[in-house]
Amino acid sequence: MRKLGKLLIRIISLYYFIKAILALKEIALILLPGVKGNSNAFAVLGINGLTYFLVNFIVILIIAVLLWIFTDKIVATIIGEDSNDGLNINLHYEELFSITLFVLGIIFVIDAIPSVLSQVQSLFTVNMQSYPSNFRLSIFVGMLAPILKLVVGICLIIKNRIPKKGI
């Protein structure tokens, strides 16, 4: 059971590491110079907006690193030091990996749906022609991340469906 717990904690850590990388995209969009270098998101959001995204990135990255480093201690706290816990799980590594990817796909879909709906709503309610081309480009780039996350989640769910045995 300890191996299963360790695997799940490491997968959660990798998930948060990926979230940190996606948060880094927001920082890049803020610091991206606009057309002719005179306009960018930093001018609109200011230091408070940049600070918000930097703190978000740093906190998520720290969570990912701490989960990875202290995996054994977390598993020992949750499951206990006794490796003979009496629970006999008869799963092959491939089945366990498939189940894990399936659950990760569900997490991706659940996490991406609100962002995708928000992006689609703003796409139809905001007149994009009135904004400069650099702002439209940043909006387009911002739309790609949740859509890509949704697609990856759906692919993980479809590819790793858990087969029903003995039914």
- Say how far apart CA 17 and CA 68 lie, in whole Å: 10
Q: If you average pLDDT over each of 2-16, 54-68, 85-99, which comes out highest?
A: 54-68
pLDDT in tens, 56-82: 788 888 888 988 899 888 777 766 665
pLDDT in tens, 122-136: 777 777 777 777 777
Instruction: Report, as an integer, the average pLDDT of 8-16.
Output: 84
Among the listed residues 61, 27, 64, 57, the one whose alpha carbon sits nearest the alpha carbon of residue 42: 27
Chain centre to alpha carbon of residue 61: 11
Return the SS3 of 33.
strand
Give pLDDT, residue 38: 46
Stronger pLDDT, 1 or 124, i.e. the higher one: 124
Other beta carbons within 10 angstroms of residue 5's beta carbon come to 17
**Cβ proximity of 154 and 105 under 8 Å:** yes
Q: 53 burial class (0-12, 13-18, 19+ CB within 10 angstroms)?
A: buried
Instruction: Report, as an integer, the average pLDDT of 45-53.
Output: 73
Q: pLDDT at residue 138 above 70?
A: yes
Q: pLDDT at residue 55 above 70?
A: yes
Lowest-confidence range among 7-21, 54-68, 106-120? 106-120
Domain edges within the chain? 1-88, 90-167
**Cβ proximity of 79 and 85 under 8 Å:** yes
Give pLDDT, residue 151: 92
Average pLDDT, the chain: 75
Give pLDDT, residue 65: 92
How much is the pTM?
A: 0.51
Rounded to 5 degrees, what are φ and ψ at 127?
-80, 100
Cα torsion 128, 130, 132, 136 to 10°: value is 0
Return the SS3 of 40.
strand
Return the SS3 of 84.
coil
